Amino acid sequence: MVLLLLVDLDPELAALRPLGGFFVLRTARPAPGAAGPVRTDPLPTLAKAYTQAVSDVRRDALTFRVETVGERLRVPEPRVAVSVTQQALAARLWSVALGCAARYGSLPDLDPRLLRWDARAAAPDDLWLTEVRPLSGGAGPAALAEAVVQGHLEPLAKALRARYGVAAGLLWGNAASALAGAARELDRWARAHGDPGAAHRARALTAALFAHPRLSTTGTRTGAAFRRRSCCLYYRVPGGGICGDCCFTQPPRSSPRAASG
């Protein structure tokens, strides 16, 4: 029998802090004077970022993030910046959800209307959950899929495809890669810190989530290892290469658009 060392869901989500990096979620109001890319809406919700990117051609938060990523990576192709942007946000969302499920045994409501996004900031300062309230549906794979896949990744993919025409296979491959990466990091932390219950719960949840129709065809899993059927295009970044889970064994020399399917 695996002992689950669970704690109550607290207003500061303090159990995520030891995990570090992408797992931490801010719940306190940002410091006075914080400003985002849109002057009239300094910290838009993710819900607004998803919908505004489809309907508004102004420099909204999602467009701002993509352009910022492109400038920082020095990539001339918008689709490369889109891919990196989307995968990073997917990693944040999976890490928070999986971390809460594994450490608390429950999920906070991650409704995109409750999550505000600073498109200028890197993790863990990019997201702010304005209200911590537990979901009543528990923290099983169905709850995680509803919170992350339906709640965030589907509207995010719709927005990015409408704005930039990026292939769906690339975006869902990114989402699967982000989930696998979050699961590996959580499993590594749990083993190192003597929390076998969290490690077991993370592995079981991840295996179940990979059966989701959006993720089941994105690649193959062997234990904690994942090999995707698409490419995130990171090899197109100056000085970049292929990722450990890439479908390629070396960077393609021609037909780069074939990698995005």
Say if residue 19's pLDDT is above 80. Answer: yes
DSSP at 108 = B
Q: Quick one: how far is CA 105 from the chain centroid?
A: 20
H or E element at residue 199: helix 196-209
More confident residue, 39 or 207: 207
Q: Convert the pLDDT of each residue in 223-254 to its tens digit.
A: 889 999 999 988 888 888 889 888 887 888 75
Q: Tell me what pLDDT residue 256 has.
A: 45
For the record, the structure tokens of 75 come out as 């990539």
Distance separating alpha carbons of residues 189 and 196, to the nearest angstrom: 10
Distance separating alpha carbons of residues 197 and 202, to the nearest angstrom: 9
Task: For the chain, give the percent of residues with pLDDT over 90.
Answer: 72
Say if residue 38's pLDDT is above 90. Answer: no
Mean pLDDT of the chain, nearest integer:
88
The pTM is what? 0.89
The pLDDT of 1-23, averaged and rounded, is 79
Say if residue 48's pLDDT is above 90. Answer: yes
Distance from first CA to last CA of the chain, Å, rounded? 43
| Cis previous bond, 196, omega within 30 | no
More confident residue, 34 or 13: 13
The pLDDT of 98-121, averaged and rounded, is 95
For the record, the structure tokens of 150 come out as 């339906």
Q: Tell me what pLDDT residue 184 has.
A: 95
Checking 3-10 for CB contacts under 8 A at 24+ apart, the result is 3/196, 3/197, 4/105, 4/197, 4/198, 4/200, 4/201, 5/195, 5/197, 5/198, 6/103, 6/104, 6/105, 6/197, 7/103, 7/104, 8/104, 9/100, 9/104, 9/106, 9/108, 9/132, 9/134, 10/132
Say if residue 203's pLDDT is above 70. Answer: yes
Confidence of residue 258 (pLDDT cuts 50, 70, 90): very low
Domain spans, the chain = 14-217
In the chain, where do the E strands start and end? 115-117, 127-129, 219-222, 225-228
Count Cα neighbours of 124 within 13 Å in the Cβ-side half-sphere. Answer: 17
Q: Tell me what pLDDT residue 56 has.
A: 66
Q: Convert the pLDDT of each residue in 121-148 to its tens digit.
A: 988 899 999 999 999 888 999 999 999 9
Q: Tell me what pLDDT residue 7 has.
A: 64
More confident residue, 247 or 217: 217
